[in-house]
Chain A
């Protein structure tokens, strides 16, 4: 974590990602994202949410600016980037003959810790996620959901100030969803900047401080869940008629009535 007095911020300006002639993210600029925030990236399929995370993790070439604490993420050395960003792709392969503890330790190589300290840190992460009982189980012996939590452990174990999570709850049952989102929330509360792609708007509204609605590679709306999740946004971006209700504990609920008359804009 940065120890400077001025809080660092992730600043994204004019970020563009193109595959050959197809522009996936076009000139995307976002408001500064701060440590302590849990930011949900929402939007329909294939609108560039995962590509944004991959561009920040430098897994796809991007142009424009992405700066963290004044440093250019798009030009930083790979090891420094690995210490700055913890990235969790959508799935963890099941064919590797490695156990969950080994997988977690493998993710920590950029931290360059002594072996014992590394093992303790990895175990602490598994305990925090409630999968310490799976530590010695191999990936091919895990369910899809358990593998997903193990993948999250990999991202967290790096103790990087920024966490990029691509659909961390997509294969999880309700109990594990809650556990993962609770952990992610705590990570944000302890000073990490967490940016996560979520398809479930109810989860996004319940846990995130900030919602970024990405549509066709551009920022369509941003703000608090109350400000960003509106019937108009759902009609324009998702092409559905829906009601947005606030329930007693101030949470946002989305009730889908059916497809909108006009397709998404």
Chain B
């Protein structure tokens, strides 16, 4: 019995058409989940914006968002030059790290891959340490830009070295991960050496940097990261179906007509840019690049048309919640956000894993 035959050669039974309706409902449910996560992330960003150690009330903050002139100069500066850049940068950093994480996990076929595991964060920290401890870095830059510029160059350098090693050794995904871990350890060892010789002040500064902080947020940082996201995201979206194919193995993806080597190269370039920029601007932030994609995967599966946007909004939500917690956990103190990401991410992740196991 057929209800529909849209193509001369295609005949599908009523039960089959019902299954396709069910599939369509599933895709709409996934879109709904992404939208819900987006709303939650925006709500969290708004909470981030209205919370802080200053005496500025919620009503004043919200009024100031739409009518800046209604506030005094001091309050205006707090809202527009401190709180809003922090809230927006938190969202953007979460987006960038999660997108970098999900692309790395897919192209390397490794659920533990993220900027941290591939040595990007340790390399960025090494770059920052060189600037903080020895004052060595990209020439011609003023001091405030020396640390992020160094971190960016080292993070990107680590990933380029990874690419170079992979190309010269014709390395598969497993070897690439091992190379990444090796680079991470090497950078970690050199970082320890710099910490060992650092002055007390420099050491304190370095430790603070490695904890990750949104306190350095300003509109230039926001603009930089937003630009990187605007440039990279459309390419990620376009690669979504090919990335899904890659989850079924290199041979299968190749036989579907996917140029696997090129896909892997460009995905790694995108992930490198995103991770290097994010880490350079806010320091090392763990967990978001790992947990964001995993949360998304548990919620929407691995069809990358849904997984990529879901990862991005999960990352934004996690990072924004972490920012709120970093402000509110100890009243009057702005805790490094890197600590808070783990505090937020861990219970969410555990809850999702246990729920999934109960369902199976």
Residues on A facing B (Cβ under 8 Å): 54, 57-59, 78-79, 81-83, 85-87, 89, 92-93, 96-99, 101-103, 106-107, 109-110, 116-117, 119-121, 123-124, 126-127, 132, 135-136, 138, 141, 154, 158
Question: Given the complex, which residues of B lie within 8 Å of A59, measured CB to CB?
Answer: 251, 254-255
Max chain A C-beta neighbours (<10 A), residue from B4, B256, B258, B303: B256
Contact A127:B248 (CB < 8 A) given known A78-B259, A82-B256, A98-B301: no
Q: List 5 A-B contacts (CB under 8 A).
A: A57-B254, A89-B252, A97-B301, A98-B247, A154-B248
Cross-chain contact B16 with A154 (CB below 8 angstroms): no
Indicate which residue in A58, A99, A124 contacts B12 across the interface (CB closer than 8 Å): A124
Contact A127:B13 (CB < 8 A) given known A78-B259, A120-B7, A154-B252: yes
Cross-chain contact B245 with A123 (CB below 8 angstroms): no
Question: Given the complex, which residues of B lie within 8 Å of A78, measured CB to CB?
Answer: 254, 257-259
Contacts A86-B255, A136-B22 aside, 17 further interface pairs with beta carbons under 8 A come to: A78-B258, A82-B255, A82-B257, A83-B257, A87-B252, A96-B247, A97-B301, A98-B244, A98-B301, A102-B301, A116-B6, A117-B7, A121-B10, A123-B19, A132-B15, A132-B16, A141-B360
Question: Given the complex, which residues of B lie within 8 Å of A79, measured CB to CB?
Answer: 257
In the complex, whether B189 has a CB less than 8 A from a CB of chain A is no
Contact A136:B6 (CB < 8 A) given known A93-B249, A96-B302: no
Closest to A121 in B: B10
Count of A-B residue pairs with CB < 8 Å? 112
Q: How many whole Å from A163's CB to the nearest CB in chain B? A: 11
Closest to B16 in A: A123
Indicate which residue in B247, B257, B301, B303 contacts A109 across the interface (CB closer than 8 Å): B257
Interface string of B237-265 (1 = CB under 8 A from A): 00001101101110110111111000000
Question: Given the complex, which residues of B lie within 8 Å of A109, measured CB to CB?
Answer: 241-242, 245, 256-258
In the complex, whether B297 has a CB less than 8 A from a CB of chain A is yes
Question: Given the complex, which residues of A lie within 8 Å of B10, measured CB to CB?
Answer: 117, 120-121, 124
Cross-chain contact B254 with A58 (CB below 8 angstroms): yes
Q: Complex: how many Å from CA A95 to CA B301?
A: 11
Q: Complex: how many Å from CA A132 to CA B13?
A: 10
How many B residues face the partner with a CB closer than 8 A?
A: 36
Cross-chain contact A136 with B251 (CB below 8 angstroms): no
Residues on B facing A (Cβ under 8 Å): 4-7, 10-13, 15-17, 19-20, 22-23, 26, 241-242, 244-245, 247-249, 251-252, 254-259, 297, 301-303, 360
Cross-chain contact B248 with A120 (CB below 8 angstroms): no
Cross-chain contact B11 with A124 (CB below 8 angstroms): yes
Indicate which residue in A98, A117, A132, A135 contacts B303 across the interface (CB closer than 8 Å): A98
Cross-chain contact B16 with A127 (CB below 8 angstroms): yes
Cross-chain contact B15 with A96 (CB below 8 angstroms): no
Q: How many whole Å from B291's CB to the nearest CB in chain A? A: 16
Question: Given the complex, which residues of B lie within 8 Å of A110, measured CB to CB?
Answer: 256-257
Q: Complex: how many Å from CA A151 to CA B16?
A: 19
Cross-chain contact B12 with A120 (CB below 8 angstroms): yes
Q: How many whole Å from A141's CB to the nearest CB in chain B? A: 8
Question: Given the complex, which residues of B lie within 8 Å of A102, measured CB to CB?
Answer: 244, 301, 303
Q: How many whole Å from B250's CB to the nearest CB in chain A? A: 8
Q: How many whole Å from A57's CB to the nearest CB in chain B? A: 5
Q: How many whole Å from A158's CB to the nearest CB in chain B? A: 8
Cross-chain contact A124 with B257 (CB below 8 angstroms): no
Q: Complex: how many Å from CA A101 to CA B257?
A: 19
Closest to A119 in B: B20
Q: Complex: how many Å from CA A156 to CA B77?
A: 63
Q: Complex: how many Å from CA A101 to CA B27?
A: 12
Question: Given the complex, which residues of B lie within 8 Å of A136, measured CB to CB?
Answer: 19, 22-23, 26
Closest to A116 in B: B6
Question: Given the complex, which residues of B lie within 8 Å of A93, measured CB to CB?
Answer: 247-249
- 9 residue pairs, one from A and one from B, having the closest CB atoms: A82-B257, A110-B257, A87-B255, A97-B302, A79-B257, A96-B247, A123-B16, A97-B301, A120-B10
Closest to A58 in B: B254
Cross-chain contact A123 with B255 (CB below 8 angstroms): no
Q: Complex: how many Å from CA A116 to CA B20?
A: 9
Question: Given the complex, which residues of A lie within 8 Å of B7, measured CB to CB?
Answer: 117, 120-121
Max chain B C-beta neighbours (<10 A), residue from A59, A78, A101, A106: A106
Closest to A114 in B: B6
Q: Complex: how many Å from CA A132 to CA B17?
A: 10
Q: How many whole Å from A150's CB to the nearest CB in chain B? A: 10
Question: Given the complex, which residues of A lie within 8 Å of B16, measured CB to CB?
Answer: 123-124, 126-127, 132, 135
Question: Given the complex, which residues of A lie within 8 Å of B297, measured CB to CB?
Answer: 97
Cross-chain contact B245 with A132 (CB below 8 angstroms): no
Q: How many whole Å from A117's CB to the nearest CB in chain B? A: 6
Question: Given the complex, which residues of A lie within 8 Å of B22, measured CB to CB?
Answer: 136
Max chain B C-beta neighbours (<10 A), residue from A83, A85, A110: A110
Question: Given the complex, which residues of A lie within 8 Å of B303, measured CB to CB?
Answer: 98, 102
Cross-chain contact B23 with A135 (CB below 8 angstroms): yes
Question: Given the complex, which residues of B lie within 8 Å of A126, measured CB to CB?
Answer: 16
Cross-chain contact B23 with A107 (CB below 8 angstroms): no
Q: Complex: how many Å from CA A109 to CA B16?
A: 21
Q: Complex: how many Å from CA A177 to CA B328?
A: 63
Closest to B243 in A: A106
